A and B are shown apart, each in its own frame.
Chain A
Amino acid sequence: MQIYLVKLSAAIFGVVCAVSAAFNTPAQAEGIKADISYVRLTVERPPVLSNLDPIPPDEGLAGAVLGNNDNAGTGKFLGHKYSLSVFDLLKDGTLAPISGPLKQPGDLILIDAPAVAILAFADRPANADHLILNVRSPDVALRDANCRANVLHTAPSYAMRGDALAQFLLLRRWNDLVMIEGRHPADHAFANALQSSARKFGLMIKQVKKWVIDADLRRTASTELPLLTQEFPRHDILIVADETDDFARYLPYNTWLPRPIAGSEGITPVAWSGAVESWGAAQLQARFTDTAARTMRPVDYAAWAAIRSIGEAVTRTNSSDAASLRNYILSAAFELAGFKGRKLSFRNWNGQMRQVIHLTHPRAVVANAPLPGFLHQHSELDTLGLDAPESTCGAFDNP
């Protein structure tokens, strides 16, 4: 509130002397200890065509481990302690402790699970006042009609990723699209988001094909895929929704028309990629590779950002109480440096973390969304995903 008042009263072309109290070092507090739990549900993944690029078993968790180290780096100067405990969420809903000091999850939780499991977990009466951060599910409904007051999201939604791609295509004037949609529910969810984004930004998806080919594309892609794509009307770019990483890798250079690919392959809108190296990201990538011995993936980034958000709130509030941390994280005072070129903060209407979405291919960043020219009355980052008027989430008390 103070900050807003100061901003209002400031001359547009001036320098404001804000009240410094917000940034003063908290008194050296004894006994502030933040015990964070990482709750994960290991999901069976459908078989995919290629044996390349297996998903690492510590995907997500490795980011949390790094974020916990980063928090401890600050905590040691302030007398704040941090711990990380890992739990497997079993099919019957019970929790198996895997590592760390806690035998039961505390009230500061990172959840790495599909939307259905997140809702079931968040709706347990005992968890009502917990602070739960979703580091994996991109499900749009979790930020909309199915939102929960106790669940914040550091993973971007499909809508944010779709909007990022749509902005890029519009800026390039690649307005005519066709789409191939995979067979899995996740493919359908991403395809829906891409449809909404195309509508929002005035692009035209001229035709959608469901993926039906079951041949071994490792041998037949060059004969099958030109035929499949020959039937499409004229288009500027082919977008593909293949969120299980099944077939899309065979599309580039095997299309009837020489067209680029975007979506789950080609130019991909992602929260993070090994190709991100600006804004100090090279440091984060190096620290991650040192601890995890692999490249940082989007879910790792979401977990890192979640645990850093908790850490940042502990640092500034001098507290580890879930309600205080949640209030601070959702307040206008919260900001986090996240190696994306703009500060991270949370939307107070649905708990989604605002963030830059990178448009990448495996060897470089193509562009970063929000793209230049996509303006917003409050934050350009809110041009991505569900803005306050679009979200039907009613669980948050918007000031």
Chain B
Amino acid sequence: MYKFYHLRLAAALVMGLNAQTALAGEMWITNEKDHTVSVIDTKTLKVKATYNVGLRPRGITFAKDFSELYICASDDDAIDVLDPNTGLVIRRLESGEDPEQFALHPDNKHLYISNEEDALATVLNVETGEAVAEIDVGIEPEGMAVSPDGKIAIVTSETTNMVHWIDTESAEIFNNTLVAQRPRHGEFSKSGDRLWVSSEIGGTIAIIDTATQEIIQTLNMHIPGISDDLIQPVGIRLTDDGTKAFVALGPANHVAVIDAKTFEAIGFVLVGRRVWHLEFAEDEKQVFATNGISGDVTVIDVETLKPIKTIKVGRFPWGAAFRPG
């Protein structure tokens, strides 16, 4: 413990001396009920800045070169584009109604956006601000992901209980996979051959084969002392090496750590209340978890699977995006 503090002190000292150079990474958090983003220094684990953005910020992602930050301003029906060096909104893109989540295509040019209240997915060119396609999907679309090769986009619709598979070339749905109740989030494996989908009310994770769009595994999780119907998975992150999956379990207030090969639970990490989304920092040495109800972010050490710090941010922290130093 002592050592830990010394290290932090030293880090703070270094930071103070090199105020101009951004050595440390940054975790950017959207605060849904504050219309702000909080920026956490991933070395000191302190909030170093808070910036105003559009109304009800939820989905958040960086451009592939980290030069720009995109944020769904849901109640402004817009995507705010921030300069991460200044925290200023430098332009605003019309996204269609109520953008909730999005995914950036590997071409670094097209955002695939779920329009929650309109049962639509919008494809937006971030350079021109032009909506290049609108795709009818199920009711309350939310989770959005693009396969690593860029050929497939998926969207989960919460009330229709489906994963819609979109051919990014034609911008048309080519298949639908029925999953358990209220699918919230989809995440492709690094290789792209698997898609993990969380069903919040179903309480399960479906692991889907990308080639056939068929479910190959359904995971149920049990934590002693917690009612099964409160295990409500939402955010998912998979390690690049394909060994582990982290799953945020909502009102169960835990993050599940799953062996991505055997699908066995490695452990459950206690975090804050209603844990929502997750993001890796520092070469996947840490996972940040947003706790919507308690208004904070828990940092989990990936090696020890222990929560190392909880950091107060704004009201209803929703999404997280990492920018390396």
Residues of A with Cβ closer than 8 Å to B? Answer: 6-7, 10, 12-20, 22-26, 70, 73-74, 77-78, 280, 283, 286-287, 315-316, 335-337, 341-343, 379-381
Residues in B neighbouring A10, C-beta threshold 8 A: 220, 222
Residues in B neighbouring A26, C-beta threshold 8 A: 178
**Residue of A whose beta carbon sits closest to that of B230:** A342
B240 within 8 Å of A by Cβ? no
For residues 113 through 128 of chain B, which have their beta carbon under 8 Å from a beta carbon of chain A? 116-117, 119
Residues in B neighbouring A25, C-beta threshold 8 A: 176-178, 214
Residues in B neighbouring A287, C-beta threshold 8 A: 117, 139
B29 within 8 Å of A by Cβ? no
Pairs A–B under 8 Å by Cβ, sample size 21? A10-B222, A14-B222, A15-B220, A17-B217, A20-B206, A20-B215, A20-B218, A23-B180, A24-B215, A25-B176, A25-B178, A25-B214, A26-B178, A70-B159, A77-B162, A78-B178, A280-B158, A287-B139, A316-B178, A337-B158, A343-B181
Given A24-B214, A280-B140, A380-B227, decide whether A14 and B181 contact each other with a Cβ distance below 8 A: no
| The one of B161, B216, B219 that contacts A74, using a Cβ cutoff of 8 Å | B161
For residues 196 through 241 of chain B, which have their beta carbon under 8 Å from a beta carbon of chain A? 200-204, 206, 214-224, 227, 229-230
For residues 248 through 286 of chain B, which have their beta carbon under 8 Å from a beta carbon of chain A? 251, 256, 258, 263-265
Residues in A neighbouring B111, C-beta threshold 8 A: none
How far is B138's CA from A208's CA once the two chains are assembled, in angstroms? Answer: 51
**Interface residue tally for chain B (C-beta within 8 Å):** 47
B153-183 vs A, Cβ < 8 Å mask (1 yes, 0 no): 0000111111010000000010011111110
**A20 with B201: CB separation less than 8 A:** no
How far is B258's CA from A13's CA once the two chains are assembled, in angstroms? Answer: 12
Residues in A neighbouring B221, C-beta threshold 8 A: 15-16
Min Cβ gap A175→B in Å is 26
The winner among A15, A16, A24, A26 for most chain B CB atoms within 10 A is A15
Count of CB-CB pairs between chains A and B under 8 Å: 119
The winner among B158, B159, B181 for most chain A CB atoms within 10 A is B159
| The one of B116, B117, B138, B256 that contacts A73, using a Cβ cutoff of 8 Å | B138
Residues in B neighbouring A20, C-beta threshold 8 A: 206, 214-218
How far is B218's CA from A20's CA once the two chains are assembled, in angstroms? Answer: 6
Residues in B neighbouring A379, C-beta threshold 8 A: 229
How far is B264's CA from A17's CA once the two chains are assembled, in angstroms? Answer: 8
Residues in B neighbouring A14, C-beta threshold 8 A: 222, 264-265
Given A18-B220, A74-B160, A77-B176, decide whether A283 and B201 contact each other with a Cβ distance below 8 A: no
**Residue of B whose beta carbon sits closest to that of A338:** B201
**B265 with A13: CB separation less than 8 A:** yes
The winner among A10, A13, A380 for most chain B CB atoms within 10 A is A13
How far is B221's CA from A10's CA once the two chains are assembled, in angstroms? Answer: 10
How far is B182's CA from A335's CA once the two chains are assembled, in angstroms? Answer: 10
What is the interface of chain A mostly: helix, strand, loop, or mixed?
Answer: mixed
For residues 92 through 138 of chain B, which have their beta carbon under 8 Å from a beta carbon of chain A? 116-117, 119, 138
Given A70-B159, A74-B162, A337-B181, decide whether A16 and B220 contact each other with a Cβ distance below 8 A: yes
**B176 with A13: CB separation less than 8 A:** no
**A15 with B140: CB separation less than 8 A:** no
| The one of A16, A19, A24, A335 that contacts B202, using a Cβ cutoff of 8 Å | A335
Given A23-B180, A74-B161, A337-B201, decide whether A283 and B140 contact each other with a Cβ distance below 8 A: yes
**A342 with B162: CB separation less than 8 A:** no
The winner among B178, B179, B216 for most chain A CB atoms within 10 A is B178
Min Cβ gap B44→A in Å is 34
Residues in A neighbouring B159, C-beta threshold 8 A: 70, 73-74, 283, 337
Residues in B neighbouring A12, C-beta threshold 8 A: 222, 224
Residues in B neighbouring A343, C-beta threshold 8 A: 181, 201-203, 229
**A18 with B218: CB separation less than 8 A:** yes
Residues in A neighbouring B201, C-beta threshold 8 A: 335-337, 342-343
Residues in A neighbouring B218, C-beta threshold 8 A: 17-20, 22-23
**A15 with B160: CB separation less than 8 A:** no
**B222 with A17: CB separation less than 8 A:** no
How far is B178's CA from A381's CA once the two chains are assembled, in angstroms? Answer: 27
**A315 with B161: CB separation less than 8 A:** yes
Given A280-B158, A341-B251, A343-B202, decide whether A23 and B182 contact each other with a Cβ distance below 8 A: no
Min Cβ gap B314→A in Å is 18
How far is B214's CA from A25's CA once the two chains are assembled, in angstroms? Answer: 8
Min Cβ gap A278→B in Å is 9
Extra inter-chain contacts (13) besides given A23-B215, A283-B116, CB under 8 Å: A16-B219, A20-B206, A20-B215, A23-B179, A24-B214, A73-B159, A74-B161, A77-B176, A78-B176, A287-B117, A335-B201, A342-B201, A380-B227
**Residue of B whose beta carbon sits closest to that of A19:** B218
Residues in B neighbouring A316, C-beta threshold 8 A: 178
**Residue of A whose beta carbon sits closest to that of B256:** A15
**Residue of B whose beta carbon sits closest to that of A380:** B227
**Residue of B whose beta carbon sits closest to that of A73:** B139
Min Cβ gap B108→A in Å is 31
Min Cβ gap A214→B in Å is 47
Min Cβ gap A52→B in Å is 31
Min Cβ gap A272→B in Å is 16
Min Cβ gap A220→B in Å is 44
Residues in B neighbouring A280, C-beta threshold 8 A: 140, 158, 182
**A13 with B161: CB separation less than 8 A:** no
**A77 with B160: CB separation less than 8 A:** yes
**B265 with A15: CB separation less than 8 A:** yes
How far is B251's CA from A337's CA once the two chains are assembled, in angstroms? Answer: 15
